Each structure stands twice: as structure tokens, then as C-alpha cells.
Structure 1
Amino acid sequence: MSNAKAKLANIVQKGNDIFLRVDEEWFTYNLMEPPLGEGAMGTVYLGRSCRTNERVAIKRVIDKFANVPSIRERARLEASLLFRHQNLVEMIGYCELNPYNGPIFIISRLVQGMTLDQHVEMHLRSRTDAVRKICESIYPVFDALEYIHSKGIIHMDIKPSNIMIENGCNIRLMDLGIAYAADAVNLTSPGLLGTPKYAAPEQYIEPGQSRLLVDKTTDIYELGVTLYELLTGYNPFDSPTREETLQKQRTEVLPYVEGIPDAVVDVLRKATAKVQMERYQSAKDFKVALEQALLHPCRKSNEWLLPISIGLIIGIILVIVLILFV
């Protein structure tokens, strides 16, 4: 069989069943079954291994992204087994119709559990120490981001529904298979890569712009919005239209909320600064700042001004006394 024919044999359709070959193993899913979920970059289906019958997640990347050469190359890398971390979804492999265009399928282990926002509403929201517990529940995401950032990978679609809690304890960051390297992505049309109400301003591609100006602080921004939503129960950037949402992302800051310590909101405000250089420059720095804010929840970012102000007042009083009585 020729090389071209061998490539075509990687994807086979029989009725409503799609069969995908990764190395020498076949996986399948049914087009008539409702997807597990849909996101900004693709649709995830419940599939299974034809050899072991193990259930898997099969993601078909939206074709307009799948046909961008640099994105295809990035998907091949992320779907490889090079990325192993307890807080990331384990990848099985990558399947394509041919190396240059057409469908991309990314197969990963199926995570059994619930999304982190569901877990928060069911188990954490009503606790007296809810703020601390919610923050602690997201600490593993910082570790996962530090890991992928060390490999030059940017996730670009962090949101509550992309964070799963497995078996009631282990946190896994989902959708690594559509992440990107900042030095590899060239785009052919304007638009948004990511989910509007979590996306950083730089994730929008302006007309005429050929390169995505994202870096690891883009993920820090998205995680800041995500954590704010988990803590407060709402997303302040959410609007009826995408245009309104993107405008808020460009101009508005996270508001203070009763019940959430100002020190914690201050950390999230820095994480979601509109200018990338003003954000935390690593996931580790973000995590350390959050831990410190939880240790001193009543401390305001300008609290250091208080002792200076008191000293000035005392000094002025002493000067007045000296003038009057000396």
C-alpha cells in the first residue's frame, strides 16, 4: 500500500461510526451520540478503544484551526506522550487524515469526575472557610501551568469547565491538546482564540495582525478570572454579546466583593492586569502571592501607608507644640 493510502486508512467512517488509528491501535466514536462538551477550539466525544473497550475522550479540533500548519504541528506535539503530570490529562495520541489539512483528532484518557465549578457549588460554597478551600483547590492548576510553561506551551483556554476533579480529590487541567507555543502560532484571519469571558485582551486577533501576541501571562490572566468566578459565583466580564464581553476584558477591572478579602482580590487584579508585563510573570509567583494573601486576608495593598501617615501626624503635632511653647 502506498504512503498516501496508508495515511487515508488512519480515519475510516462506517455509517455513523468514526474509526481512528493511533499507532497500531484503533479508537471509535458514534456521530449520533451527543458530545461530552464543546469549546472554542473543538468538540469532545465519548469514544472507546476497539482493543480494550476502555472509554476515552476524542476531540475534533474545529477545521478552521486544524488547517493552520503551525497549529497542526503544535497539536502533534501536545498529543504526544511527552507531557506527563499528575494534574494534566494523559494524552493517548493524535490522528489526522493527512499531514497538511483536514480533520485533527486528539485522543486522551477519560477523566471520571466533575468540573471544579460543580465541586465548588456542591461541597465548598457553603463552608465557613470557603475562600481558603476554593483557593487551595486550584493550587494544582498553578503546578500544572508551571510544568507546561517550562516546556514553552501556553494553554489559552483556562476556565472552570476545563478543570476536573477526579475521584473527589485529584485536580486535572483539561484541553492541553489545543494549547499553543507563542513562537509557533501564525494566524490567517482575525478572531478570538479562547473563551470570551475568560480570555485575555491579547487573545483577540485584530484585522491585519498575523501573529498571536500571547505568553504565559495569558494563562495567568485566564486563571485569575477563573478563580474570581469560583470565589464569587459570577463572572464580571460576561455580557449578552461577544463584543461587549471583549470590551469589558479590555477596559474593566475585577470589582471588590463582600465576603472575599480585599487582599485576595488585589492578587487577582494583578493577575488580570490588561498589560501583560504588569501581571505575575509565572504561575509560581501567582501562587505564592495568593498564599500570602490568605495568610493576611485583612491586609490591603496600601496598608503600608498607615504607619507612615501616623508618623507624619505625630511629627506635625510635635512641631506645633515646639512652636507654641518654646
Structure 2
Amino acid sequence: MDLSEKRNESPAGQVGNVVKSCIEERTNKDWIRDSGETKTDAEYSKKSCINTQTSQDRRRSGEKQTEHKEKTIKRRRNEDKHIQKESQAEKTSKDGSIERRKLEEGQIVKENQAEKTSEDERIKSRGFEEGQIEKESQAEKKSSKDARIKRRRVEETPLQMENLAYKKTSEHESYKIILLEKQKKKITEENTKGTNIEQKEERNKRSRAEDPLESGSIQKRPCLDIERPAPLDINSYNFHTILGRGGFGWVMLASFRPNKQLVAMKILKKKSEKNDCHAIAKEARLLKISRECAFLCHSYAVFQSELESFFVMEYASGNSLWEMILRERKLPTSRIMFYTAEMVVALQFLHSKGIIHRDLKPENILIDKDGHIKICDFGIAEENIIGQRTAHGLAGTPGYRAPEILLNEDYNAAVDWWSFGVTMYKMATGVMPFSASGSIQKQLYTIIMKPPNYPCDMNEEMLDLLPKLLEIDETERIGLNGNIREHAFYSNINWEDLENRRLETPFQPGMPPLDDVEEYPMTFSPQSSNERNNLKDFSEVDPNWNWQE
């Protein structure tokens, strides 16, 4: 390619060519104009020249833009490669650190294993050393023991020889001594023939004193050496359910194993706040006395353990009068007359023995299997109230207390007839005649200022009897003043037949079969001969209880 061609291809040459062509076109247009062409053609050629120039400018700008884009793309690719290299470098560094950590952990594990093996070796060596020491000590002990045995044998040999010699020499003398002792024994037997009866009595007294069910003696005997009658052994009873519970202890439904009889077992703690030995012994005495009355709850047997006292009583399967009132609200007059007549017999019997109950209420009046009433719970009863003797102190249940008790005065058996009247009113109406709430002063104010409201449909004879029972002046109260049996309310009662339980009862609850009750596990303290905790002359069995049948 020559120099002229290169110039033409260069940008300056291209511009020159364009100018040259424009001049040629101009000359051509002049020639055309001279030859008679129109002016519009010249203008058209001028516009085409300008368009060509602008298209070239656009081409150049487009090329510049493409070059710029290619540069930016290359720069971005270079940056991406640099970032990838950095990320790979970081990854490799992480992998290296992980591998380094693994190596370090493996090294630690190896070191731990090495330490463990060294520790095991130390333990083995220590065990071996200890075993060696034990063997040596055993060998020393054995050798020393053998030496001691040999030494003893050497020492004992002359002693044995001396003993044999002594035996041979003293054998004849001992024979003489035996003969002399036999002669003395015969003489003493002849001399003590007259005192055999006294010795037997002393031995009997000693055996009774040593009985753990009674007061213990100084020379104690194991409880297993003494055979107790079955009624006095807690192991002769199975327990089934709780019948009642209070501050005094609790009452359990139990069965006596020998004859499978259901009984009520009252259990009192000897060391509780509300019980003491005096109160427990008093209740045992009163339960024994109550056997003489058919309408008092009595005991079949009483006995004790180290911490408890047990009262085996007849089971009243008809529950209490309180539950009957709660269930029926008001009782028929005929039933009230029958039950209260039996209560009259029971109270008159207690008062004749100098006993006041002090807590007569429907909860303490039970119905037995034949439908007769049984007054129970002599825990706060008072003894020896005979003639002019009186009792003192707050006792009884709120609502059933006589006004003389609330006034903190001395009182006598009249308090039981007041409680009897409150109970009769409760049976007839289902409510209390006086409020049992509030302080003692408020209860006393209610009794004095607010007499009970008697229903208009109440039986006339009962309406006459109740005010006489609820008389504030105890000296005028019927029961203590006058014979209550002669009142018109009991005109249809044959008292002799009633006392002998010959009258027909309103209903007979019967006795549930033993198979219908489940066992209730109970544990008690042992029946020991501890003198401190045993009550003197406490345990006994009702002679009329046919427990062996």
C-alpha cells in the first residue's frame, strides 16, 4: 500500500475525501444548474453530505461506547477473579485451621489416653503393692499367731497337769460335799412344807404384776413369754373402716377373728393433749359399769399397748340419731316417744350411780342392730355426783349446755335433763331451740331472753314436757324435780317391758355381713411391759362376752 492510500484511509484523509466529494458535487450541481436542472437537487446533495458526516460521528461514538463497555466488563471480571481468589484463600485458611484443630484435639486425646494408661498402671502397681503388703501382714499375723499358740501350749501344759492332779485329789472331797448338800436340801424341804401356800400366793402376785397388760414390775419379762387371751391381743382383730374421729382419738369398725364378730374399737392415744391416764382409766370404769344398762354402750374388753389404749365395744349398725335427723329432718312423735323413753332409763341409771354424762346430744346416741338406742362417749363424764355433791367447769357441746354451766356455777345431774330437752326439741323440729353461735355470754343471753319457738302442730303432751325440761331454774327442772316417767307424754309406755327390751322397735337395722366390708391396714405400738406407760389394773374382758363361741 502506497502513501496516498494510507492517507486516504486515515481520519484526516477521510475528511479530505468528503470535502473533495462535496466540492465535486457542488461543481456538478453548478453544471446541472447551468444545464437547466432545478435548485432542489443541489439542496438535496448538501443534506446527504451532512447526513453522511453525522452517521460517521455516530459510528465513532458507538465504537467508543463499545470500547468503554468492554473495558468495564474486563475490569469486573478481574475484580470477580480477585474476590474468588481471596475467598479460596480464606477457605484454604479455614480448612487449615480445622485440620490444625483436629490435629490438636487428636494430640489431646492421645495425651489423655496416655495419662489414663499411666494412671491405670499406677493403680495396678498400687494394688499390687497393697496386695503384697496384705500378704506380708497376713504372713506376720500367722507367724505371730502360731508363735502365741505354741507359747500358750507350753504355758498351759504344766497348768493342765496341775489341774488333773487337783481333780484327782479333790474328787473324793467333792463327793463328800455333794452328800452334805443333799442332806441339807432334805432338811430345808421338811422345814418349808408349811410355807408352800404363802410362796404360791407370792408367785401368783408376781406373775400378775409382771403382766404387760397391767402395771409393770421392776423385773420385766419379754412380752412374747406371756400368753394373752385373744380379746386382749391386738392381733386378734381385723380393721375395716373409720366410724368416728376427734380430738380424743378415733373409732374403727373391727372384727374379732375367733368368732368373726363385728365390733367398734375405740383407740385413745395415751400422750395426746386431751387424754391422760386418769381420763382413760375413768372411761374404762364407766364402760364397765354401763354393762348393767341395756341402753348404754358398754365394752367387751379393754387393753393397752405402749402408746395406745383400746376399748372393744358393741357395734351400733344403725348409726347415730344425728344422722337419722339429718336424713329425715323431723321424726314422728311415736319414734321420739320410744327413743326418749329409752334415754330416760339410761340417764336415771347413770344418775343413780353418781354419774353425769355432760355431753348428751344426737351424735352420742347410737342405734344398735335391733333398733334400740345406745348412749356412748363417757370421755367428759363426771363421777361421784351423789347427794349434795356437785361438779364445776365448762363442759359439753355449744347449744346443748345448761345455763348453770354457762354461768360458771356448780351443777349436778340437772344439766343432763337440759341436754335431753334440747335433743328432744331437735328430734321434733329439726332445728336447735337456742343458737349455738357466738360467745358464752351471747349464748346465755339467747337462753334467758329468747325462749324457743314451739310449732303449732306439735303434740300437746310434748308441748307441755319440753318447757319443763328447758327450765332455766335447775331446781324446778323435770327429771331432777319429779318423776319424768309419770308425765303424760309417756302414758303409753310399759316401762318394765321397755327396760327388758321387749317393746317393738321402730325399725331394725340388722348387722352387715363380714364379707361386705374391706380390710383397713392399721399399725400400733408393741404391747410391752413398760411400767411408765402402762395403766394399773386396766386390762379386762367382759365375763358375759361369749367370744369363744
TM over 0.5: yes
In 1: Cα distance, 2:467 partner to 2:257 partner: 48
Residue 226 of structure 1, CA deviation: 0.1
Correspondent of 1:83 among 291, 303, 307 = 291
Residue 154 of structure 1, CA deviation: 1.4
Deviations 1:244-298 (A, max 9, x none): 7743575343322221145523421221223321212449823322526999xxx
Change (3 A) 1:283 1:161: farther
Please list, as runs of the form range in 1=range in 2, the aligned pairs for 1:211-226 lying within 5 A after superposition.
Answer: 213-226=410-423
Residue 191 of structure 1, CA deviation: 6.9
Please list, as runs of the form range in 1=range in 2, the aligned pairs for 1:81-230 lying within 5 A after superposition.
Answer: 83-96=291-304, 104-119=309-324, 125=330, 130-167=332-369, 169-176=371-378, 178-183=380-385, 192-203=394-405, 206=408, 213-230=410-427
SS of the aligned residue for 1:92 comes to strand
Change (3 A) 1:186 1:92: farther
SS of the aligned residue for 1:47 comes to strand
Structure 2 match to 1:255: 453
Query: Does 1:265 find its partner at 2:265?
Result: no
Would you say the 8 A contact 1:217–1:282 is kept in 2? yes
Residue 220 of structure 1, CA deviation: 0.9
Change (3 A) 1:145 1:258: same
Change (3 A) 1:119 1:281: closer
Deviations 1:14-54 (A, max 9, x none): xxxxxxx88962247899x8631246755322233354443
Higher helix share: 2
Higher RCO (CA-CA < 8 Å; seq separation 6+): 2
Structure 2 match to 1:18: none
Structure 1 match to 2:212: 6
SS of the aligned residue for 1:153 comes to coil
Change (3 A) 1:117 1:24: closer
SS of the aligned residue for 1:83 comes to helix
SS of the aligned residue for 1:66 comes to coil
Query: Does 1:66 find its partner at 2:275?
Result: yes
Unaligned runs of 5+ in 1: 11-20, 207-211, 296-326
Change (3 A) 1:201 1:260: same
Query: Does 1:277 find its partner at 2:479?
Result: no
Amino acid at match of 1:35: I
Please tell me the root mean square deviation across aligned C-alpha atoms, in Å: 4.3
Change (3 A) 1:198 1:249: farther
Residue 140 of structure 1, CA deviation: 0.9
Residue 178 of structure 1, CA deviation: 5.0
Residue 134 of structure 1, CA deviation: 2.0
SS of the aligned residue for 1:36 comes to strand
In 1: Cα distance, 2:284 partner to 2:318 partner: 27
Please list, as runs of the form range in 1=range in 2, the aligned pairs for 1:4-83 lying within 5 A after superposition.
Answer: 6-7=212-213, 25-27=232-234, 35-38=242-245, 43-61=250-268, 63-67=272-276, 69=278, 71-80=279-288, 83=291
Change (3 A) 1:186 1:217: closer
Change (3 A) 1:58 1:213: farther
In 1: Cα distance, 2:492 partner to 2:446 partner: 26
Would you say the 8 A contact 1:87–1:173 is kept in 2? yes
Would you say the 8 A contact 1:182–1:215 is kept in 2? no
Normalised to the residue count of structure 2, the TM-score between the two structures is 0.41
Deviations 1:163-213 (A, max 9, x none): 2233363222222465321549999xx97422212122344595xxxxx83
Change (3 A) 1:193 1:60: farther
Unaligned runs of 5+ in 2: 1-206, 217-227, 494-549
Normalised to the residue count of structure 1, the TM-score between the two structures is 0.64
Change (3 A) 1:284 1:95: farther
SS of the aligned residue for 1:114 comes to coil
Change (3 A) 1:201 1:64: farther
Change (3 A) 1:77 1:115: same
SS of the aligned residue for 1:75 comes to helix
Change (3 A) 1:246 1:24: same
Amino acid at match of 2:287: A
Residue 143 of structure 1, CA deviation: 1.0
Q: Say how many residue pairs are matched.
A: 270
Amino acid at match of 2:382: Y
Would you say the 8 A contact 1:66–1:103 is kept in 2? no
Change (3 A) 1:38 1:287: farther
SS of the aligned residue for 1:220 comes to helix
In 2: Cα distance, 1:191 partner to 1:30 partner: 39
Amino acid at match of 1:227: M
For the pair shown, which has the larger CA radius of gyration, 1 or 2? 2
Change (3 A) 1:186 1:263: closer
